[in-house]
Structure formats: C-alpha cells, structure tokens
Amino acid sequence: MSFPSINPTQTTAWKQLAQLAKSPETLQQLFAEEPKRAAQFSISWQDFFVDYSKNHINTTVMDALLDLAKEVKLEQARAAYFVGAPINKTEERSVLHTALRANKQADIRVAGHNVVPEVYAVRQQIKDFCTSVIHGSLTGATGQPFTDVVNIGIGGSDLGPAMITEALAYYKNHLNVHFMSNVDGDHVMEVLKKVNPATTLFVVVSKTFSTQETLSNATTAKNWLVDALGESAVGKHFVAVSTNVTAIEAFGIDAKKVFPMNDWVGGRFSLWSAVGLSIALAVGPENFETLLDGAHQMDAHFAQTPLDQNIPVVLALLTVWYNSFLGAQSEAIIPYTQYLHRLPAYLQQGIMESNGKSVDRNGNHIGYQTGNIIWGEPGTNAQHAFFQLMHQGTKLIPAHFIGYVSPLHGNQAHHDKLMANFFAQTEALMNGKTEAQVREELIEKGMDKATLEALVPFKIFLGNKPSTTLLLDKLTPKSLGALVAMYEHKIFVEGIVWNIFSYDQWGVELGKQLANDILEDFTLTNIKHHDSSTSQLLERYKS
C-alpha cells in the first residue's frame, strides 16, 4: 500500500492557513461572536469529553486544517499504518503497536505473515508468568516468593512501564516495582538499597539488548545478586524482554526466560508488548489486558471516525496550526491527577523522539516548523511553579488540561478543590483580568490612589491563552489505554502532515557514538583530539 509523501507547504490549505494566521482574533472575541462555540468545538467519545473551543480557531481555520489533512492524504496514510505497510522507511519496518492490542481474530500481516497469533502467544506468556509471580508459586533461589520487581531499561524500555505503573498505582498488588534506567551508578545503588536479593525479580528490557545503560545496569545488578546468592541464582531472578535472544544468552539469561518483542514495534510505542511486563506484574495481567483493550478502542475510533470528529486528528491539527503557523514552540501537558505525574516525561520521548525531524519523507531539508517541545507537571503543583509564565509571560503555550470527574479514593472534598483549580485555570488563561477589573478590586480593598496606579499594570492578565480540556470519567486501565493511544495517533497525524518519518530516531545515535569514544579516552594517557572546550573539560575530569 503506497504511503504519501506530500510537501504540505505546496497544498492549497497550507497557503490558506498561512493567510488566516495573519488575522488572529482573540479567544474572548471568538466566544463573544460564536454562542455555540463550546459545543461546536467539542468531541464526546466513550468516557472522553474533549473541549477544544478555547483554542485560536474558528470554523474557517478548522475547515482549512481538515482540508490540509485531506490534501496530504492522511486517510490513505492511516490505512497503510494499520495494515502494517513498512511506513518506517529509513529502517524498513512496519509500525504495528496497534497489532499488539488488536482483536484475536484480526489478520495483520508483516511480509505476508499474520502477526496476531504471536501477539496473543506472548500475551498468554505474560499472563502465566505474572500469575505465578503474583501468587507466589514462582519463587526466587531461596524458595521465597518475590516481593519486588526491578525493571532495568531506558527510553521506551523504561518510560512507558514506569509511567503506567505510576498511573495505575491505585490498582496495584503487593509487588513493589522499581525502575532502574540511568547509567548513573548512584541511581543503580539507590534502587538496590531498597530491595532484598532473595525476593527481587529483575526484568531486563531492551529491544536491541545493546544499549549501554541497560547492559551496564543489568551487569551491576547481576553481580550484586551473585554476591548475595551465588551464580546459580541468576536464572531464577532474571528475565528479559528483547528481540535479541543471542545477546541475552550471552549475558547469562536462559532463552526460556525471554519474552520476545518484534522489530515492528518502536521502543517508545512498546509498552503494550512484553515491555509492559512490569506493568502486568504491578497491577495484574487482567488490568494489563484492560489497558490494551482501552488502547484498541481508541485505535478503532482513530481508524473509523470522520476526521472532524476524530480526537487524535483534531488534536494533531491544532498542534500543526500552533507550531507551523502561529509560532508556538511548545505544548504543555498538565494532568490534574498525581497518578499521571510521569505522563509529560513519557510523552516527551513519544512526541519529541518521533517528530523532532528536519528532513522530509523525500529526503529534503524542511523549511517549516515540525515537532514541538513537550513539558508539564501535574496540576495543582504546576500552578505554583511555572503557571506565572503561562498567564503573564510572552510565550504562546497551547496546553492540554487532563482531568477526571471521579477521584479513585472517593475523597470528594479534595477532588472538588482539585477540579475547581482545573476549570479555573483554563478560564483564567483565556479570559484574563482586565484593567477595569483590576482597578475595581484594588478600590474595593481600599488602596490609596498612588499605590493603586503603580500596581495596576502588573495585575492585568491579558488572557487569550489557549488550552484544550480533556475531561474523562475516571482513571481506569481502560481509559488510560485509550488516552495513551490517543497521543500515539496524534503523533502519527502530525508526522503525516509535516511529511516526516516519525518512527526512526537517528538523532540519538551521534551522542552515543561520541560517548563511547570518550569512554575510551578515559583509559588513555593522552586524550584523543577533540575541540578545545571538550578537551579542557576531559583533562579536568581526568586530573
């Protein structure tokens, strides 16, 4: 199936959008002019309610964005993505995280071979293994059941499992799951300090099984275990998730303890595969399956819904509008639940590693803005940290506010306060506070005229700051699966419009290469030639 590669700037819609961007109206004006705006720019799907009306759009802009999606042949690209066409061209791979949560009866082919039966075989393997660990029938070398799990991996082999495990902490069982990612030995030791070798299971996750950080950390953890329990304990305390069985066996983990993954799943999209083993251990395989089901529901929504009612499509087009036409550089993700505190970090990899590209699908250097900077923290903490800049700073920062109608622990008084802040912030960002309102407030406080005049300019909020509100019923494994899949498809749509390859990550290679070079320098008396700044720093480090 052919995959389009259309220069978006050559489309009629792009040219129209460039014109439209020159005559902005404020959000306050838009709301005043369009009484049905809130309903018109909202999408309700399952337990998601997405209100994108507080964005710098009107019907003309939305129509042009949707035309842009059609002109770049988004629907054709979407079909190729779901059937497993090798759309990751620079690595000659399919992109099939959607197959990991497809129905059992689905037939999704890679090189003529249906991958769904294998997916279900691994899902069963995860289920069986997790059940035996959780129930204590599988034990460590001393016969004691496991109490702790240490996930050793980095990037996609860490962020997804870590984010979901935290997000679903409410649903967790007795197993305590820890994450070891950084090659920083202090990080390693801090994790090991918390666990007992006799009751700890190590899950080494690396798609390639060649990542320096993961192999170093796994080796240190293995030595620590061997020191405590002897070499024979390794087989009972280490399992691995990878595509590279040979390297795992060389490391000392039995091939029978390997959970396979496939090269048609990118690391940052892999939490649905055996990479999610730590999730299934933490919350149980049933919840893991429900997470996958939620993602599958979102896949169906994305695959089948007309573009104007399609949540990932609409959100992606807004991002394109802000980045490529209105000059925004970033997007803030503000979840109003502490459970999602790792979501921004997870999305930083998902979005920035995918769409941080400057060469188009035809190999040409790009002259327009692509991938945006992702950042954020949970509300209300974020309000007391960086919201000052969002309210009164000079930057355009479109923000996603993610909140839930029901709390998990049922503490309604807390939840009402949390959600009052959630709604208040988007209202404040949009409406601001006028000079007249500021004056009135200060007069009411009885402030003298001179002090009042000096203070007024600093207390004005111009407003007109955009946000999108995602209001969901409840944080469940299912709704979380759908939320994460929503962002995955948003990434896809942005990549299609920007005409970039979203599924490779060549940009992370150079630093890895140079780090290996420099590591060699540490063993030499005279360091190799570097620029004068780097040489100076290396000399100082070695001295």
Residues marked active site are found at 353, 384, 512
The DSSP result for 81-143, as a single string, is: HHHT---BGGGTB---GGGGGS-TT---EETTEE-HHHHHHHHHHHHHHHHHHHHT-SB-TTS
- The reply to whether 392 sits near ligand F6P by the rule CB under 6 A is no
| CA pair distance 493, 301, nearest whole angstrom | 14
Q: Closer to ligand F6P by CB, 297 or 505: give it.
A: 505
Give buried/exposed letters for 390-412 (b at 16+ CB in 10 A, else e): bbeeeebbbbbbbbbeebbeeee
| CA pair distance 153, 221, nearest whole angstrom | 12
- The reply to whether 152 sits near ligand F6P by the rule CB under 6 A is no
Q: Closer to ligand F6P by CB, 267 or 294: give it.
A: 267
Stretch that binds ligand F6P, among 4-12, 153-161, 471-479, 531-539 (CB under 6 A): 153-161
CB neighbours (10 Å) of residue 492?
Answer: 26
Stretch that binds ligand F6P, among 120-128, 206-214, 232-240, 338-346 (CB under 6 A): 206-214
Stretch that binds ligand F6P, among 36-44, 148-156, 290-298, 520-528 (CB under 6 A): 148-156
- The reply to whether 277 sits near ligand F6P by the rule CB under 6 A is no
Q: Closer to ligand F6P by CB, 30 or 150: give it.
A: 150
Q: Closer to ligand F6P by CB, 57 or 126: give it.
A: 126
- The reply to whether 157 sits near ligand F6P by the rule CB under 6 A is yes
CB of 211: closest distance to ligand F6P in angstroms? 3
How many residues touch ligand F6P (CB under 6 A)?
14
CB of 508: closest distance to ligand F6P in angstroms? 4
Binding residues for ligand F6P restricted to 289-348, rule: CB under 6 A: none
Tokens in use for 251?
Answer: 């490391």
Stretch that binds ligand F6P, among 200-208, 250-258, 450-458, 486-494 (CB under 6 A): 200-208
- The reply to whether 156 sits near ligand F6P by the rule CB under 6 A is yes
- With CB under 6 A as the contact rule, the residue among 11, 165, 211, 383 that binds ligand F6P is 211
- The reply to whether 268 sits near ligand F6P by the rule CB under 6 A is yes
Tokens in use for 99?
Answer: 């197959």
- With CB under 6 A as the contact rule, the residue among 154, 192, 277, 343 that binds ligand F6P is 154
Nearest to 330 by CA among 374, 368, 293, 369: 374
Note whether 333 and 376 are within 8 A (CB): yes
CB of 303: closest distance to ligand F6P in angstroms? 25
Q: Give me the helices (H) in 402-508, please.
A: 412-431, 435-444, 449-459, 477-498
CB of 251: closest distance to ligand F6P in angstroms? 13
- The reply to whether 505 sits near ligand F6P by the rule CB under 6 A is yes
Q: Give me the helices (H) in 136-231, please.
A: 159-167, 185-193, 212-229
CA dist list (Å): 533 to 451, 518, 521, 540: 51, 14, 15, 11
Beta bridge partners of 471: 49, 403
Could you give the dihedral angle defined by the CA atoms of residues 8, 13, 19 and 23, in that order, rounded to the nearest 10 degrees?
-120
| CA pair distance 234, 218, nearest whole angstrom | 11
Q: Closer to ligand F6P by CB, 206 or 425: give it.
A: 206
| CA pair distance 446, 452, nearest whole angstrom | 9
CB of 534: closest distance to ligand F6P in angstroms? 22
- The reply to whether 88 sits near ligand F6P by the rule CB under 6 A is no
CB neighbours (10 Å) of residue 282?
Answer: 27
- The reply to whether 145 sits near ligand F6P by the rule CB under 6 A is no
CB of 193: closest distance to ligand F6P in angstroms? 24
| CA pair distance 231, 302, nearest whole angstrom | 49
CB of 240: closest distance to ligand F6P in angstroms? 11
Binding residues for ligand F6P restricted to 348-377, rule: CB under 6 A: 353
Q: Closer to ligand F6P by CB, 228 or 359: give it.
A: 359
Q: Closer to ligand F6P by CB, 114 or 208: give it.
A: 208
CA dist list (Å): 524 to 174, 345, 392, 445, 529: 49, 37, 53, 71, 12
Nearest to 248 by CA among 207, 279, 277, 280: 207
- With CB under 6 A as the contact rule, the residue among 37, 207, 465, 478 that binds ligand F6P is 207
Q: What is the SS3 string spanning 320-352?
A: HHHHHHCCCCEEEEEECCHHHCCHHHHHHHHHH
- The reply to whether 155 sits near ligand F6P by the rule CB under 6 A is yes
Residues 6+ apart with CB under 8 A from 472: 47, 48, 49, 402, 403, 404, 405, 479, 483
- With CB under 6 A as the contact rule, the residue among 114, 208, 305, 534 that binds ligand F6P is 208
Q: Closer to ligand F6P by CB, 213 or 331: give it.
A: 213
Q: Closer to ligand F6P by CB, 159 or 298: give it.
A: 159
Residues 6+ apart with CB under 8 A from 149: 133, 175, 176, 177, 178, 200, 201, 202, 203, 278, 281, 282
Binding residues for ligand F6P restricted to 508-527, rule: CB under 6 A: 508
CB of 350: closest distance to ligand F6P in angstroms? 10
| CA pair distance 199, 210, nearest whole angstrom | 27
- With CB under 6 A as the contact rule, the residue among 206, 278, 287, 426 that binds ligand F6P is 206
Stretch that binds ligand F6P, among 154-162, 218-226, 305-313, 423-431 (CB under 6 A): 154-162
Q: Closer to ligand F6P by CB, 240 or 320: give it.
A: 240
CB of 94: closest distance to ligand F6P in angstroms? 16
Residues that bind ligand F6P (CB under 6 A): 154-157, 206-208, 211, 214, 267-268, 353, 505, 508
